[in-house]
Amino acid sequence: MALCLKQVFNKDKTFRPRKKFEPGTQRFELYKKAQASLKSGLDLKAVVQLPPGESINDWIAVHVVDFFNRINLIYGTMSEYCTEKSCPIMSGGLKYEYRWQDDSKYKKPTKLSAPQYMCMLMDWIEMLINNEDIFPTRIGVPFPRQFQQVCTKILTRLFRVFVHVYIHHFDSIINMGAEAHVNTCYKHFYYFIREFSLVDHRELEPLKEMTERICH
């Protein structure tokens, strides 16, 4: 029997502290609206659609931060099974290998273990979403022109977490009774990135068969 979300995902194991929205801000109100829709049992395809009159960049920002928190929590729970020994390469099966590159320490695509890759990824995303020049939180401050491009990169890399967890640690998900919760998070994420064409379809190939099965 599947356990409740609080039992399945121990918040002490969150990979990084949760990024929160400041109460009273428009972003916080949008976040509450999105969460209310999720809890209402509405079709996830409808939940991800931009509400009338809302800014698409604000809507994307809210979801990028929320997905970071959720996927961070999922991986944090899985991390004891994802070790240097069990996952010496960040991959999605034999066919897909993900190398790390950033603008500082790793200037060229570099082979890392899955735990190292995840650590670099979460640090990198946290740095971006806390950067006021990229994710402005003050009223009247516009988003940068490259905002959606940055979000595409963030979401593409977060998708790779799903790839690794589903392909290499699915038995652990099942043993924890977390399959339904992870599937729902994945479906929400998938419908969102497809709704706004935020991730290249080639990046989705590793989970194509599963996606066709659970995302109708």
Determine how many CB atoms are found less than 10 A away from the CB of residue 168. Answer: 19
CA 80/CA 84 separation, integer angstroms: 10
Name which of 59, 60, 7 is nearest 33 in CA terms.
59
4 annotated as belonging to a binding site for a ligand: no
Burial class for 141, CB neighbours closer than 10 Å (0-12, 13-18, 19+): exposed
Q: What is the CA radius of gyration of the chain?
A: 17
185 annotated as belonging to a binding site for a ligand: no
Which residues have a Cβ under 8 Å from the Cβ of 209 and sit 6 or more positions away?
none
169 annotated as belonging to a binding site for a ligand: yes
Residues annotated in the binding site for Zn(2+), as ranges?
A: 82, 87, 164, 169
Residues annotated in the binding site, as ranges?
A: 82, 87, 164, 169
